[in-house]
Amino acid sequence: MYKILLRENSQTRVIQTQGQQSLLEILRNEDYSIYAPCGGKGRCGKCLVDIKGEGKVLACNYYPAGDIEVILPAKEEAQILATQTAYLEDFPPAHSRQLLHPDAYGAAIDLGTTTIVCYFVHLASGRIVKISSWMNPQTAYGADVISRISYCQENPGGLKLLQKILTESINKEFNSFLSEMKAGKQQIQETVIAGNTTMLHILLGYNPEPLALAPFTPAFTAQQVHKAENSSLLLHPLGRLITLPCISAYVGSDIVAGLAVLKVPLQHYLFLDIGTNGEMALVKGEEIFTCATAAGPAFEGAGLSSGMPALKGAIAAFESPSNYKVIGDVRPVGICGSGVIDSVAWLRRNHLMDESGLIQQDFEIYPGIQITQADIREIQLAKSAIYSGIKILLKRAGLNFQELEALFLAGGLGNYIHIPSAVEIGLLPAELKDKTFAVGNSAGIGALQFLRSEVFANKVDRVIQQSQYIELSDDEDFALEFAMNMDFLK
């Protein structure tokens, strides 16, 4: 039996271990969330912790063989991306539900793979009382949905564990909100959640494994309504948990809620959430064509040598080696998706990378933060997957770029991204450069409108009825498009 002294900021704690588990597993079991994009497979190099006297080690590859002292990295704060934008509709509060308390509250949640945003609403008035955001604790088990599904496949009890840490993190926010409001323990009457199909499966305890295997059949796509007693969430005993409907295994209710809440008097437009999975929709009048690309989590900063999510310390914008912006104005510790897109565009513009993506040497942005050849390959795969997905949607809808009136970018990256750079690297179409707009957290705002107004439920139903899903792995043109869009053309 060995002793592990854990130091986190000014706090210390001692735990015991027998040495058969990796340090990552030990820390997870003790409820310390270590960022582990590859899910503990020793590939991403991100789960670094400091061992006194030994220096930095990968927690997933380190098996304590004696007493040690571990200095844990500072906890990262999720960046709130929660505000209503002009592109999203705001419904007047109108709901016929019977209130179970004069000051009953509701929670509208955008359940993201990386971050979770929660809007607490006073149900009688429809007023937003608080907005919270935090890292999805499952990031300690992998950056993207595929690594979370693998964890469920490879570990007996894996699904239960991922479900438990997720519901516990939501309940923790509920508790802190209720104590701030000096409200009773069970004053949250209704919770509405929008998220990708995998996140919703794990939240509700459904086996997500079929989502990773052809023919990619979800256990459910329809709206789910659970009574409080079946939800694991801290709700009023007569309250309910509602998850919004999905379209397919990889086009989730985050896209459905986003499409339903868009307020745009247009006929033909694209809606794109790059995130970890490149979900997209093409609206053509009354028809909606949707698909999802296996873009991987590169634009979320995972899988890249110096990549990180858009958190404090991330280089989020890069104009030149002497002009870049770091989130929180602190010393940079890594680079997030928008910074990577800017940097790759700069390399191409300055002839330091050729059209095939070849660089002469790794590009150091700041001591210890670099873009490597392998990073560029990851970016090429991701950008080609997304651009090719857009091309296939256009083909199936019988439209061309000139006929599109706008491209709306949802989610965090959409907000940070520098559109000219995204166009320069071939992630977004040049034809839509001046018609591309960030809409903010449309999934969360959609869940919020569902909570506030019964009218919004009709809009959600319409999106589901109008949508058709195109499975890109079955599409005869996708492989060719994918190969053709790999290069960085001017």
Q: Which residues bind ligand FES (CB under 6 A)?
A: 36-38, 40, 42-47, 58, 60
Q: How close are the terminal C-alpha atoms of the chain, in Å?
A: 61
Nearer CB in complex with ligand FES: 47/211: 47
Q: For residues 399 and 147, what is the distance between their CA atoms, to the nearest angstrom?
A: 35
DSSP-assigned states of every residue in 82-125: ----TTB--PPPB--PPPSSTT-EEEEEEE-SSEEEEEEEETTT
Report helix, strand or coil for 451.
Answer: helix
Question: CB neighbours (10 Å) of residue 303?
Answer: 23
In angstroms, what is the minimal distance from the CB of 45 to ligand FES? 5
Contact 305, 298 (CB under 8 A): no
- The H or E element containing residue 436 is strand 436-440
Nearer CB in complex with ligand FES: 47/261: 47
Nearest 5 degrees, angle CA 134-CA 381-CA 319?
Answer: 65
Nearer CB in complex with ligand FES: 42/368: 42
Question: CB neighbours (10 Å) of residue 484?
Answer: 13
Beta partners for 284?
Answer: 268, 287
In angstroms, what is the minimal distance from the CB of 61 to ligand FES? 7
Distances (CA, A) of 13 to 30, 107, 193, 456, 485: 10, 34, 35, 49, 52
Report helix, strand or coil for 3.
Answer: strand
In angstroms, what is the minimal distance from the CB of 38 to ligand FES? 4
Nearer CB in complex with ligand FES: 285/368: 368
Nearer CB in complex with ligand FES: 276/449: 276
Contact 342, 319 (CB under 8 A): yes
Token duo for residue 469? 């899903």
In angstroms, what is the minimal distance from the CB of 39 to ligand FES? 6
Nearer CB in complex with ligand FES: 40/278: 40
In angstroms, what is the minimal distance from the CB of 357 to ligand FES? 24
Nearer CB in complex with ligand FES: 37/258: 37
In angstroms, what is the minimal distance from the CB of 314 to ligand FES? 18
For residue 196, what are the contacts with CB-CB under 8 A and spacing of at least 6? 111, 112, 113, 145, 246, 250, 252, 253, 254, 277, 279
